[in-house]
Chain A
Amino acid sequence: MSDGAKPVGLALPLPVLMGLAWLVPGLGHALLGRRLRAAVFFVVITLGFIVGLLLDGELMLPQSGDALSFLAMIGSDPLRSLALIASVGNGLLFFVAHAIGTGQGVVTAPGYEFGNTFLLTAGMMNLLLVLDTHDIATGRKDW
């Protein structure tokens, strides 16, 4: 597997590349030829996400029927809005989990808080990968 310093791999527009990096953990690095890191990031983030779901963690969502409720939440509950950003940061995993009805969160479950920690950590790590993909694609990071 290659993981060394290489020029930018696939020539995709930067916003598209960053969007793909957000959708699937590690995909941005894979498209840029950083396959080892891409595989590690994919496994780490997906594993964290799955453990979070198994522990009955909660994927934060805007209030149903009002997508703009997120904007109101920023002022009234900044911590929850940060949690929402971290939840959505999981990309496709977030939408798949939501579509199949998991990640609702069981507040009374013993693993609820830990589940949240795993889910939010996975989302924040994935968002960091988007920034890292940006740095590699623009040449600010040469490996």
Chain B
Amino acid sequence: MLDHLSLMVLDAFLVAVFFSFLWKRERRERWLYFWKVFGALVVGAIVLAWVMYPFPRG
């Protein structure tokens, strides 16, 4: 079974592909938008995880 990070990356990949084809028309635009969305989702999730790290569980 995939670990959580891999699943998060896979989800980010699917979402980024989807929105780049939904909202952008040209190939170059799509590539740029894909990397922006993909990067924002993956990096954002990792940053958020670290921000939450000091907080106690439960």
Residues on A lying within 8 angstroms of B by beta carbon are 37, 40-41, 44-45, 47-48, 51, 55, 110-111, 114, 117-118, 121, 125, 128-129, 132, 143
| Pair count A-B, CB < 8 A | 36
**CB within 8 A of A47: which of B1, B8, B14, B21?**
B14
Q: How far is the CA of A118 from the CA of B14 in the complex (A)?
A: 9
**CB within 8 A of A48: which of B4, B8, B11, B21?**
B11
Residues on B lying within 8 angstroms of A by beta carbon are 1, 4, 7-8, 10-11, 14-15, 17-18, 21-22, 25
Q: How far is the CA of A51 from the CA of B22 in the complex (A)?
A: 21
Establish whether residues B7 and A40, one from each chain, have CB atoms under 8 Å apart when the complex forms.
no
Q: Give me 15 other A-B pairs in contact (C-beta within 8 A), A48-B11, A111-B1 excluded.
A: A40-B17, A40-B21, A41-B22, A44-B18, A47-B14, A51-B7, A51-B10, A55-B7, A114-B4, A121-B11, A121-B15, A125-B15, A125-B18, A128-B22, A132-B22
Establish whether residues B14 and A121, one from each chain, have CB atoms under 8 Å apart when the complex forms.
yes
Chain B residues closer than 8 Å to A117, beta-carbon distance = 11
Given A40-B21, A128-B22, check contact A48 B7 (CB 8 Å).
no
User: Which B residue's beta carbon lies closest to that of A25?
Assistant: B18
Query: Shortest beta-carbon distance, A56 to chain B, in Å?
Result: 10
**CB within 8 A of B1: which of A48, A110, A121, A143?**
A110
